[in-house]
Amino acid sequence: MTEQTFRNAAIVLDREVVHGSLLVRDGRIADIAAGPSTVGEDLGGEFLVPGLVELHTDHLEGHYLPRPKVRWNMMAALQAHDAQIAASGITTVFDALRVGMDEDAQLGSDDMRAMADTIAEASAGGRLRAEHFIHLRCEVSAPDVLDGFDSIVGSPLIRLASLMDHAPGQRQFVDLDTYRTYYQRKMKMDDVEFDAFCRRRIAQSEAHAEPNRRAIAARCRADGIAVASHDDATAAHVREGLEIGVTLAEFPTTLEAAGLSHEAGLKVLMGAPNIVRGGSHSGNVSAADLLANGTLDILSSDYVPFSLIQSAFHLAESGAADLPGAIRLVAGNPAEAAGLDDRGVIAEGRRADLVRVRKADGLPPLVSAVWREGRRVA
């Protein structure tokens, strides 16, 4: 039996902050006590929050492909990604691997399958600080999405798939000027080339999105993989998701879609960078507006791992939420949505996934220590 005690901590529970001590026994939280203590490691009054749970991060690909046409050693790339994840206070992460390739993609289905295999190998070998699962982000308008899905779906770590369509004129890119700014600059196309690119993308969406969306949803149901919608903008999008068994609404782009999703019992997920930046980089609905009207359940770091802890403390410092409520958005609620009922909350019997956080007014939070199941990992 192994034990460790933390004292003089501001312990962020599900509904309150308790100043006191916490006992960990064999990787689980054994006791929480209010008041002073002389036993254990002195946290100096700093916050102790549950390990964060990240459901959608695209960050791994950037470590593997750090420059155009430059592929890094895949295990080293995964370990670098994992180190940044853990140092951001994330102890459970769903790595998003793309399925269905755009014509601008520099990675292919073989890369994604290799990434999935590397995550499984590293997890089994004890090489990772956080616990990793896999989230398949399926571009349903891509002609090869079903082949890509079939090539990777056997990985035992796959727990979630999102169904997305980034064709212009709908969902994330209703505003064609925003689409032009994002893709034309990224792909270095002139106006004629860009207009032809848009026509191709729209034609692919019209031909493939609907049958692929339904086919992947059916395969996920058969394999016990949770399904998320992505960038819903209209009531029709929400109805479509409900018909095929969606349980999570990722990044809805309008108040209408978020509200209807929430009313239907779907968990609504938005980007933590949206909170930190004060709005969407695509010009869509603000996550803060969804929080204010009670239709935001989960935050995801998306493309900046540290934004998860940063957004929670930003919300608390700004008065938009109390700290326990803000932490629920990045720990308890995503754990519940993923069916992980052993983590996400500091409570007796839960995993001792813990994050020590120092916070000074006006500055981002500082993650000073991270434990996963009682073992220090950062």
**DSSP string computed for 236-265:** HHHHHHHHTT--EEES-SSHHHHHHHHHTT
Euclidean distance between CA atoms 357 and 370, whole angstroms? 9
Listed range (58-72, 110-124, 201-215) with the worst mean pLDDT: 201-215
More confident residue, 183 or 127: 127
Q: Residue 276 pLDDT > 80, yes or no? A: yes
Euclidean distance between CA atoms 43 and 289, whole angstroms? 35
Q: What pLDDT score was predicted for residue 94? A: 98
- Average pLDDT on 366-373 reads 98
Residue 66 DSSP label: S
Q: What pLDDT score was predicted for residue 208? A: 85
Q: Are 357 and 366 in contact (CB under 8 A)?
A: yes
Q: Are 186 and 160 in contact (CB under 8 A)?
A: no
Q: Are 359 and 365 in contact (CB under 8 A)?
A: yes
Q: What pLDDT score was predicted for residue 332? A: 98
Among 163, 156, 165, 164, which residue's Cα sits nearest to residue 224? Answer: 156
Listed range (22-31, 102-111, 146-155, 324-333) with the worst mean pLDDT: 102-111
- Average pLDDT on 209-226 reads 93
- Average pLDDT on 362-371 reads 96
Residue 183 confidence class, pLDDT cut points 50, 70, 90? low
Q: Residue 281 pLDDT > 70, yes or no? A: no
Q: Where is mean pLDDT largest: 166-175, 205-214, 280-289?
A: 205-214
Q: What pLDDT score was predicted for residue 289? A: 94
Q: What pLDDT score was predicted for residue 218? A: 95
CB neighbours of residue 126 within 10 Å:
6
Average pLDDT, the chain: 91
Domains and CATH numbers, the chain: 52-342 (3.20.20.140)
Q: What pLDDT score was predicted for residue 173? A: 64
Euclidean distance between CA atoms 64 and 294, whole angstroms? 38
Euclidean distance between CA atoms 108 and 54, whole angstroms? 24
Q: Residue 101 pLDDT > 90, yes or no? A: no
Provide the β-strand partners of residue 310.
none
Q: What pLDDT score was predicted for residue 177? A: 64
Ordered alpha helix ranges (H), the chain: 59-64, 74-87, 109-124, 145-152, 176-179, 185-187, 191-204, 210-223, 235-243, 255-263, 272-277, 287-292, 307-318, 323-330, 332-337
Q: What pLDDT score was predicted for residue 372? A: 98
Query: Residues 141-166: pLDDT tens digits?
Result: 888 999 999 989 888 899 999 998 87
Cα angle 158, 334, 229; round to 5 = 65
Q: What pLDDT score was predicted for residue 57? A: 94
Q: Residue holding tokens 């308890």?
A: 332
φ/ψ of residue 32, rounded to 5: -130, 125
Q: What pLDDT score was predicted for residue 169? A: 60
- Average pLDDT on 96-120 reads 86
Q: Are 290 and 255 in contact (CB under 8 A)?
A: yes
Among 50, 147, 130, 28, which residue's Cα sits nearest to residue 82? Answer: 130
Query: Residues 6-32: pLDDT tens digits?
Result: 999 999 999 999 999 999 999 999 999
Q: What pLDDT score was predicted for residue 198? A: 76
Q: Residue 228 pLDDT > 80, yes or no? A: yes
Euclidean distance between CA atoms 52 and 207, whole angstroms? 39
Q: What pLDDT score was predicted for residue 7? A: 97
Q: Residue 95 pLDDT > 90, yes or no? A: yes
Residue 370 confidence class, pLDDT cut points 50, 70, 90? very high
Q: Residue 104 pLDDT > 70, yes or no? A: no
Q: Residue 41 pLDDT > 80, yes or no? A: yes
Q: What pLDDT score was predicted for residue 106? A: 75
φ/ψ of residue 31, rounded to 5: -160, 145
